[in-house]
Amino acid sequence: MKQSIVPISELSNYTKVINKVSSDSAVILTKNGYGKYAVVELEFLESLVNELNDYREKSISL
């Protein structure tokens, strides 16, 4: 997944930030020069959570 790194202050123009998000690209928001937040498509987040839950279920059943 590609990443765009932008300062959190750019959220004052959130449309510009949101337009950088796609199914294969996340936006990393920085605070004081360090990565603090990630903006991803909801579908990607749901897929990631489902994979994590599947992994947890498999490791518990071992």
**Residue 60 — pLDDT band, cuts 50, 70, 90?**
confident
Length of the chain: 62
Is the pLDDT score of 62 beyond 80? no
Eight-class DSSP state of 40: -
Tell me the C-alpha distance between 5 and 35, whole Å: 8
CA–CA dist 14, 26 (Å, integer): 14
What confidence score (pLDDT) does residue 20 get? Answer: 96
pTM for this entry: 0.82
What is the pLDDT confidence band of residue 61, given thresholds at 50, 70 and 90? confident
Tens digits of per-residue pLDDT, 32-41?
999 999 999 9
Give the residue-averaged pLDDT of 12-16.
Answer: 95
- For domain 2-61, which architecture applies? 3-Layer(aba) Sandwich (3.40)
In angstroms, the Cα distances linking 15 to 10, 49, 51, 53, 54 are 10, 26, 30, 32, 34
